[in-house]
């Protein structure tokens, strides 16, 4: 039986994940120049989700930095 537990959140990966998400969003914006119709809309929706994820990651990184400064991590 496969392990069904979620992976623990590793705060060390957040900056790497943030950079990768930004890079993916930029690549998708370039792809949108050549997309039409449904494909364009799918890319646009995915980039909206990426934008939300970027904001959440930035907030999480900021909170972790504050915790580290205050000695919680």
pLDDT digits (tens, 9 = 90+) for 21-31: 999 999 999 99
Q: What b-and-e string marks burial along 4-34, b requiring 16 or more CB atoms within 10 Å of the CB?
A: eeeeeeeeeebeeebeebeeebeebeeebee
Say what the pLDDT of residue 30 is: 97
Helix (H) or strand (E) holding 73: none
Which candidate, 46, 48, 53, 47, places its Cα nearest to that of 18?
Answer: 53
Q: Has residue 50 got a pLDDT over 80?
A: yes
Total number of residues shown for the chain: 73
Q: Has residue 1 got a pLDDT over 90?
A: no
For the entire predicted model, the pTM comes to 0.78
Query: How confident is the prediction for the chain on average, in pLDDT?
Result: 89
């Amino acid at each position: 039986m496969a392990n069904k537990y979620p992976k623990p959140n590793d705060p060390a990966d957040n900056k790497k994940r943030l950079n990768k998400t930004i890079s993916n969003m930029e690549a998708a914006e370039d792809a949108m120049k050549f997309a039409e119709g449904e494909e364009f809309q799918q890319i646009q929706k995915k980039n909206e989700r990426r934008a939300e994820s970027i904001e959440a990651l930035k907030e999480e990184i900021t909170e972790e930095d504050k915790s580290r400064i205050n000695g919680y991590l």
